[in-house]
Each structure stands twice: as C-alpha cells, then as structure tokens.
Amino acid sequence: MSTIAPLIAGNWKMNGLTHSLEELSELARLLTTGEAPRAVVVVCPPATLLATMASQGASSGILAGGQDCHAQSAGAHTGDISASMLADAGAQFVIVGHSERRADHGESDDLVRAKAEAAIGAGLKPIICVGESDAQRDAGEAEAVVSAQLAASIPDAAEHHEVVVAYEPIWAIGTGRTPTLEEIHDIHAAIRARLVDRFGLSRGETIRILYGGSLKPQNAREILAVDNVNGGLVGGASLLAKDFYTIISAV
C-alpha cells in the first residue's frame, strides 16, 4: 500500500434508525479497546442520524460524512440537503456521484462536479465515485469510462483542496462479485496516472483512491494491499460493527 494514510469509509445508504447507533457504540468500543486503527475511519449514515453520529463518534475518532449534497448552497429545493447543512451537522466528508445516485437520479458528471465544488466550498472533503457497468467492462471499456468520469467529475479545486476518489465497479456493488486483484490493480493504476497527468506528480500522487464494491471482511486484507488502493468505501459490511472493524483492521 502507498504511504498515503488509508481511509475506510462506511456508507450506510438508506439504512439505519436510532437503535442502529448501538452498532456505532460497539464500533467505538472496538476502536478504542483494540489495536489502534491505522486508517482514518468515516461513517456516512442517513441524514437523520448524522448530527447524533458526529457527536457520538467524536471521542473515538470516528468521523462523520454525508451520502449526498445539493450543488446549491441554499434555496427552494424541497427535500435536498446542502453541503453547508451537512457541515453544520458535524460532517467532514460527503459522498458524491455514487453509482446509485447516477442511476436512480440520472446524475451526470457535470452535476457530480458541481456537488464536489459545493462540498469543497462548505469545507467538506468530497468522496467522488466513478465506476463502469458490467456491459462496459465486458466491452473492454472500463478504463476509458472511468477516465472520462474522472475528467468530468473532479473539479479543478482538487488541485488545492482535499478530495477522495472512490472506484466502485457498478457490477460489484452489493452482488458479492469482485474484480480480480489484477483488475483492481490495473484500474487504480490508470486512475493514478490520470490524476498525475492532470494535477502533476506531487499533487496527483497524494489523492486517495478507495476501492468499493463487495469489500468485506473475507477479502479486505488482499484488496487493501494492492498498489494505489488507499482504503475502501464499504457498503453493507459497514452496518455491522464487527464486520466493519475487521475491514478497518485489515489495513
């Protein structure tokens, strides 16, 4: 693994009620009584739990993140949440451009970039998601698709502000299927090369690239050891403290 401090982020998606914070308490216990984690730990709960989670997790070093934000800072956007609202609730990160948002809500690369810019403007660190479908992978277009998404989704502000890239092959999310270690290596190397091409060596080499897509306790250690994998974006396994802690400990 690179010398970049790894980051493990849990995306709870549309899961979690008040009693789910018991899992957060258990994760905090594991993090503070076990071996000190060698990774930055972020949990992105539903917005209804964000403020409580941010407060509850602070003492154990668990950082809070949002799952999405609006591109505008305020206004007549019923049901949406601005980046500044997330920051006000205690978030330090926010996921933008997750494949489920791109698919379910038709989000374009341009919109994802605007959301990332809004996040940076509010003092948040955007986790910008990219990834190909199974049809694109089968057609040999994975690298081209991901490179195009990167170019259009990452704002120029990334040259001076912290951003995180998360590679999530769409066909591996929640399916139990994962790419081979060689496939992960190759796409992460391509992402790194694109970042260096755009932002220069000193900046491009410091941007974290996370892997996501059926990352679980059973495969975390080998995936997180691949070159240019600087952590993970974890879905279902982040809902259970024991599983998530196992992945964090695999760093």
**Considering 100, 107, 143, 168, which one is annotated as catalytic?**
168
Retrieve residue 201's tokens: 């060596």
Spatial distance between the Cα atoms of 11 and 233, rounded to a whole number of angstroms: 7
To the query of whether residue 168 is one of the catalytic residues in this protein, the response is: yes
**Distance, CA of 91 to CA of 17 (rounded, Å):** 18
Please give the Cα distance from 88 to 246 (Å, whole number).
Answer: 31
What span, in angstroms and rounded, lies between the C-alpha atoms of 178 and 214?
6
> pLDDT in tens for each of the 251 residues of the chain?
347 999 999 999 999 999 999 999 999 999 999 788 899 999 999 999 999 999 999 999 999 999 999 999 999 999 999 999 999 999 999 999 999 999 999 999 999 999 999 999 999 999 999 999 999 999 999 999 999 999 999 999 999 999 999 999 998 888 878 899 999 999 999 999 999 999 999 999 999 999 998 899 999 999 999 999 999 999 999 999 999 999 999 99
Q: What is the pLDDT of residue 119?
A: 98
DSSP secondary structure letter of residue 131: -
pTM of the model: 0.96
Torsion of CA 14, 18, 19, 23, to 10 degrees: 70
Distances (CA, A) of 156 to 14, 114, 198: 31, 11, 9
What does the pLDDT read at residue 78?
Answer: 98
Residue 2 has what pLDDT?
45
- 98 catalytically annotated: yes
Q: What is the pLDDT of residue 173?
A: 84
* Residue ranges of domains in the chain, CATH in brackets: 7-14+38-70+80-249 (3.20.20.70)
User: Which one is catalytic: 98, 117, 132, 143?
Assistant: 98
pLDDT at 123: 98
